[in-house]
């Protein structure tokens, strides 16, 4: 199914604030990241360092289920002080 993934910081600037990827209903973090890297291999390092949020909560399980209404977001590391 086609799912929109929200992107922020460098990824949002490079690929746009939102991309659409094709994912199965039962998926995992690595599969989501590979789909985004496939759009532009130059973003690989940034994607690998980012966390995935599903419906505004970080995923904590190896696999998770999505539906057409799911909201995925790739959240980059945050630093500062």
Show pLDDT as tens, one digit a residue, over the chain (81 residues): 999 999 999 999 999 999 999 999 999 999 999 999 999 999 999 999 999 999 999 999 989 999 999 999 999 988 776
* Cα–Cα dist 19/36, whole Å: 8
Place of tokens 């945050």: 78
Domain ranges of the chain: 2-72
pTM above 0.85? yes
Q: Which residue has the tokens 């995923």?
A: 59
Phi and psi, residue 5, nearest 5°: -120, 125
- The CATH number assigned to the domain with range 2-72 reads 3.10.20.30
Cβ–Cβ under 8 Å, residues 1 and 20:
no
């Amino acid at each position: 199914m086609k799912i929109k993934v929200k992107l922020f910081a460098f990824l949002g600037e490079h690929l746009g604030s939102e991309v659409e990827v094709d994912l199965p209903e039962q998926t995992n973090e690595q599969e989501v990241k590979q789909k985004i890297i496939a759009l532009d291999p130059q973003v690989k390092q940034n994607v690998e360092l980012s966390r995935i949020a599903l419906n505004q909560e970080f995923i904590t399980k190896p696999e998770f289920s999505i539906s057409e209404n799911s909201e995925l977001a790739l959240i980059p590391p945050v630093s500062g002080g």
